[in-house]
Amino acid sequence: MNKKVIAGILVVIAVVAIGFWVWGYNHKKQLDNNVLTLYGNVDIRQVSLAFEQSGRIQKLLVQEGDKVQAGQVLATLNTNALQIQAKQAQAQLKAQQEAIIKQEIGARPEEITQAKAQLASAQAELDKTNKNLQRLQILVSSTDGRAISQQELDYAKSNQHSAEAAVRERQANLELLIKGARKEDREATRAQYEVTKANLDLINYNLTQAELRSPVNAVVRARLQEVGDMTTAQKAVYTLALTNPKWIRVYVNEQDLSSIKMGGTAQVIRDTYPNQPMNGKIGYISSVAEFTPKTVQTEEIRTTLVYEVRVYVNDPNDQLKMGQPVTVKVPLALSEKAHD
C-alpha cells in the first residue's frame, strides 16, 4: 500500500472522528440547554415546644438528634401542687353534692326531732336566764341597788340576750328543716357546685398539660432547658425539625422564570452522592421579586432581582439535612426553549 492510500485513509478517519466529536458536542449542548441548573439549600419547618403553664421541669426524656413520634411525651413538670389542689376540689365537690341532695329530698325525721330537742333546750336555757334576771331586778328594786352590783346585773342581762338569740337560731333551723330549702338557696348551692366542678376540670386539664408531647413526627434539633429549671409558657423547652415536608429553596431570575412550572419535576443532587439524584417537584413559585440573598452560590445573579422557588422532595430515609447545599436540575420542554 503506497503512501497516498495510507494518507487518504487517515484523512477519512480524521474526518469521521471530527464529525462524531461535533455531533457529541452539539448533542451535549442541546441537553444542557434543556436543563436549568440551580443551586440552593435544604429547608424544613421547625416547631418550638413550650409548656402551657409555669412550673419546674421534672423530666426531659429525649436528646438532640432523637426521632420522636406524634403524641410522644418529651418532658414533664412537677405536679405535686396540682395534685393537692385536685384533692381539695374533689372534697369540696363531694360536700356540695351532698348538700344539693339534702336540699332536694328535705330533712330526715331524725334531724327534725333533733332540731326540736335543740330548740327545747335553748328555750329552757332562756327561761332560766329570764327567771335569774327577774330575781336580780327585784333585789335591786327592794334594796335600792345595795344587794347586788351593777356588774352582776349586766352579766345576767347579757346571758338573757344570748339565750334569746339561741332560741331564735334554733327556731329558724327547725322551720328550715320542716319547710325545706328555699329556691334561692338551692340555686346558690347548685352554683357553688358548678364553680367547684369547673375549677376541678381546670386542675385536671393543667395536670394533662404538665406533659409536653410532640405534635408531629420530627427530629429533636435542640434541647433548650434542663431538669430543675423553672419554665414558663414563653420559654421553649425543645426545638423540633419536621421530617416532612422537605424542600430546596432556590432562586430564579426573571429570564428563566417562564421555564418554571408549578408541579414540574426536578432532580436534586447532593454533592456527596452526585450519582444518586432524588426526585423533586416544584411546589411554590413566589410572585414577588427580591434581591438575591447572599447565600446563593451563583455569583452572576447575586445582585439581580430573583424569585424564590421551592422544590419539594420526598425523603423517607432522612438523607437531606437542614441547610445542606444541593444542586437542582429542572428539565425544560424543547418547545419552550425553542420559543425562547
Cα gap 75→164, rounded to integer Å: 64
Fold of 81-206: Helix Hairpins (1.10.287)
pLDDT at 181: 63
For residue 139, the SS3 value is: helix
Would you list the domain boundaries of the chain?
36-45+244-339, 47-77+210-238, 81-206
Decide if 36 contacts 332 (C-beta within 8 A). Answer: yes
In sequence order, what are the beta bridge partners of 56? 230
C-alpha cell read off for 34: 434543556
Q: Nearest-CA neighbor of 90 among 15, 248, 201, 165?
A: 201
Cα gap 309→260, rounded to integer Å: 9
Question: Where does 36-45+244-339 sit in CATH, by number?
Answer: 2.40.30.170
Phi and psi based region of residue 139 (left: phi greater than 0; alpha: psi -120 to 50; beta: remaining): alpha
| CATH number, domain 47-77+210-238, options 2.40.50.100, 1.10.645.10, 2.40.50.140, 2.102.10.10 | 2.40.50.100
Decide if 311 contacts 257 (C-beta within 8 A). Answer: no
Name 150's Cβ contacts closer than 8 Å, sequence gap at least 6: none
φ and ψ at residue 212, rounded to 5 degrees? -95, 115
pLDDT at 259: 83
How far is CA 329 from each of CA 31, 134, 271, 283, 295, rounded to the nearest angstrom? 12, 115, 13, 15, 19
Cα gap 61→97, rounded to integer Å: 41
pLDDT at 237: 97
pLDDT at 239: 95
pLDDT at 24: 40
Encode the chain (340 residues) as per-residue pLDDT tens digits: 555 556 656 655 655 455 444 334 333 333 356 889 999 999 998 999 999 999 999 999 999 999 999 999 999 999 999 999 999 999 999 999 988 887 776 667 777 789 889 989 999 999 999 998 888 888 878 887 677 788 888 888 899 999 999 999 999 888 777 776 677 777 888 899 999 999 999 999 999 999 999 999 999 999 999 999 999 999 999 999 988 889 999 998 888 888 888 999 999 999 888 899 999 999 999 988 887 665 555 555 555 788 999 999 988 888 888 889 999 999 875 434 434 4
Cα gap 220→257, rounded to integer Å: 36
Residue-level length of the chain: 340
φ and ψ at residue 186, rounded to 5 degrees? -65, -40
